[in-house]
Amino acid sequence: MADFHQNGVITTLHRLGAPDRPRLEADLLRFAQRRPLALILPALASEMDGPALGPILEELKGAEYINEIVVTLGKAGKKEFNRAREYFKALNKPFSIVWNDGRRAQKLLAELNDGGIGIGQDGKGRSVWLALGLILARGQSRVVALHDCDILDYNRELLGRLAYPLMSSHLAYEFCKGYYARVTHRMYGRVTRLFVTPLIMALETALGPLPYLRFMGSFRYPLAGEFAMDLELARMNRIPGDWGLEVGVLGEVYRNTSPRRVCQVDLVDTYEHKHQELSSEDPGKGLAKMSTDIARTLLRALAAEGAELSRGMLRALEVSYLRRAEDMIATYAADSAVNGLSFDRHAEGLAVETFAQGLSRAIQQFTADPRGQSVISNWNRVISAVPDFLERLVEAVEADNP
């Protein structure tokens, strides 16, 4: 029997029956007349040499319902940027590249920083934020979708299913989060399985069923990089500038719209992309840093909701998380055994120990500076402070893309 179970406070849109991409795309073409779609592709220069990006561009050629594509390019010098301008012509449709490391973009960012406007740190969050600013400035789309550029088995049905709930004027959703099974011969998704899920469970035990925690616990894969949102919601949302991006975006969505206007959709049968290193020996890299950034984002969001996070509660949280994460290892061992998957208990245990250390660091950082800001200001504030900033952003991007 197909899974049609609904749980939590948001709507889950399942993958039921055989895929029918022609029907899906015919609907999207019709929807696009009233609710045009912008697609953001956050790409690193190095991904032009990887195995995923080329096939993704080939697939996107056939997505005629896309109104505009914005590539936000990171870790790129002048040579890599010039190469990207030629490389993305494979899309065979209009596109713009936001050169995050370029002189013009950096000058604009420095101006905001000097004026006391939070621009976060260099990374995916800031790249996405700049792309959103460009789309807002042009005013040609009403829905924006984002997916990563390292998906090895990409099928554009992923984009269609992600955008459908927002492009359809009959469904009236403002935010859609993608989810999928991270399974091949073994289970992946360690940070979700062994950190975020048991941490939210531990927080609910300590603080009770707070609406924010219930909202966050409703997402099947809160760390998925794929989401779509109404452009007006994008204007209001702040974006974290660190590894807390996905969790932070969900927190902003919780603050700025009703859970009734939020959904999650099962995108694909399989999903394979590059896997981050655990980096248990280096807390500044990989999943070790990710766990710290995510936990810090959650704690600050809870504090903003008025939750009392005492030192005693936070000490107990470390123990409570560890117990629940260890229980989850046994759960996933059983699930793997029933399905004949490879399962390495030692590796899972090492991941939990690394995440527990990440949680400890997050608690220390939160305790030292509960208000610490790593989020980027929303576009409403930027426009209020610098009314012509969006127009100048468009000029800078167009000057880089003659």
Which tokens go with 347? 């590796």
- Would you say residue 269 lies in a domain? no
CA triple 217-223-225, angle to 5 deg = 135
In this structure, are 319 and 402 located in the same domain?
no
345-387 tens-digit pLDDT: 999 999 999 999 999 999 999 999 987 766 899 999 999 999 9
Contact of 45 with 78, CB cutoff 8 Å: no
Distance separating alpha carbons of residues 203 and 250, to the nearest angstrom: 17
What is the mean predicted confidence (pLDDT) over 227-242?
A: 90
| Predicted confidence band of residue 5 (pLDDT cuts 50, 70, 90) | confident
Within this chain, do residues 216 and 313 fall inside the same structural domain, yes or no? Answer: yes
- The amino acid at residue 68 is E
Same domain, 61 and 101: yes
Identify whether 7 is part of a domain. no
Query: Is 165 contained in some domain?
Result: yes
Is the residue at 52 inside a domain? yes
Q: Give the span between the Cα atoms of 358 and 371, in whole angstroms.
A: 19
Whether residue 193 is found in the same domain as residue 93: no
Domain check: are 226 and 216 in the same one? no
Rg of the Cα atoms in the chain: 21
User: What percent of the chain stands above pLDDT 90?
Assistant: 82
Predicted pLDDT of residue 371: 79
pLDDT interval class at 1 (50, 70, 90): very low
- Note whether 386 and 313 are same-domain residues: no
| In the block, residue with structure tokens 């740190």 | 121
pLDDT digits (tens, 9 = 90+) for 33-51: 999 999 999 999 999 999 9
Report the C-alpha gap between 22 and 109 in whole angstroms. Answer: 42
| Domain contains 322 | yes
Residues 355 and 386 reside in one and the same domain: no
**CA 110/CA 102 separation, integer angstroms:** 12
Same domain, residue pair 230 and 102: yes
Residue 173's domain comprises: 23-180+221-241+377-402
In a shared domain, residues 88 and 198: no
Nearest C-alpha neighbor of 131 from the set 91, 72, 69: 72
Q: Which of 202, 165, 197 shows the shortest CA–CA distance to 8?
A: 197
The per-residue pLDDT for 50 is: 94
Domain of 161: which CATH number? 3.90.550.10
Q: Both 164 and 102 in a single domain?
A: yes
Flag whether 268 is in a domain.
Answer: no
What's the predicted TM-score (pTM) here? 0.94
DSSP 342: B
Cα(121)–Cα(374) distance, rounded to whole angstroms?
7
Q: Is the same domain home to 207 and 353?
A: yes
Residue 251 in any domain: the answer is no
The pLDDT value given to residue 328:
97
Q: Specify if 12 maps to a domain.
A: no
Q: CA–CA separation, 170 vs 320, rounded Å? A: 43
Q: Which two tokens stand for residue 250?
A: 């969900």
Q: Give how far the C-alpha of residue 238 lies from the chain's centroid of Cα atoms, to the nearest Å.
A: 13
Which pair of tokens denotes residue 345?
């208990």
Q: What are phi and psi of 323, to 5 degrees?
A: -65, -45
Average pLDDT of the chain, as a whole number: 93
What was the pLDDT predicted at 2? 58
Residues 290, 362, single domain; the answer is yes
Token pair 């490391």: residue: 101
Q: How many CB atoms lie within 10 A of CB 2?
A: 8
User: pLDDT tens digits, residue range 136-192?
Assistant: 999 999 999 999 999 998 999 999 999 999 999 899 899 999 998 878 888 999 999
Say how many domains are in the chain: 2
Question: For residue 245, is pLDDT > 90?
Answer: no
Tokens of 274: 């590059």
